[in-house]
Amino acid sequence: MRTAKTILTVIHERGKQNKPLERVYKLLFNRELYLIAYAKLYPNNGAMTKGVTEETIDGMSIQKNRYDY
């Protein structure tokens, strides 16, 4: 599996070139992508704002987002 940094670089480059992404569903199984996203989100002021559910970013955990296939 490619590293999250490599994946994000590819996504960024394809976006700059207006190229579509394919088979991105598989990326949801890359735990490192969630950790990078969390690191970018948690310092934001809006991170503690409730969304559709009552959950906020502080309720995120590795165990909660874990899938065993």
| Per-residue confidence (pLDDT) for residue 37, from 0 to 100 | 85
pTM above 0.85, yes or no: no
Place of tokens 């909660």: 64
pLDDT digits (tens, 9 = 90+) for 21-56: 998 888 888 889 888 988 888 787 777 777 787 777
Could you tell me the residue ranges of all domains in the chain? 4-59
For residues 13 and 1, which has the higher predicted lDDT (pLDDT)?
13
CA distance linking residue 30 with residue 12, whole number of Å: 17
